[in-house]
Amino acid sequence: MAMNIVEEKIKAGAVVVDVRSPEEFEDEHFPNAINIPVNVIQAQADSIGPKDKPVVLYCASGARSALAARFLKMAGFTDVMNAGGLWDMPGY
C-alpha cells in the first residue's frame, strides 16, 4: 500500500531526492531524481524547493533517507516521505 502513496506523490510532481553518495547516484538512480547526500541535506535543503512541495526520499536501504526525512521535517518541510531503498521505488 505504501508504494501506491509514493507512486501517487511522484506522479503529482513530488521532488525525488536520492540521499546516497554522488558515486552511488552516478552508478544508478531513479529517473529524474536529484542527488543531495544525507550529510549535506540540511545545508542544501533550500535547493529542494518550496517547503510545502511533496518530497520523496530514498537511499540504498531506507536508513539514510529516514535520517534525511527527519532533517527536512525539522527544517520545516511539511510533506516528506521516506520511500526506503532504490529497489523499493515504484517501477524500479
Question: Which helix (H) or strand (E) segment is 70 a member of?
Answer: helix 63-74
The catalytically annotated residue of 59, 81, 83, 86 is 59
Q: What is the dihedral of CA 58, 46, 12, 2, to 10 degrees?
A: 30
Residue 59 known to be catalytic: yes
Contact 72, 55 (CB under 8 A): yes
Spatial distance between the Cα atoms of 30 and 44, rounded to a whole number of angstroms: 20
CA distances from 5 to 23, 40, 52 (A): 28, 26, 17
Active site residues: 59
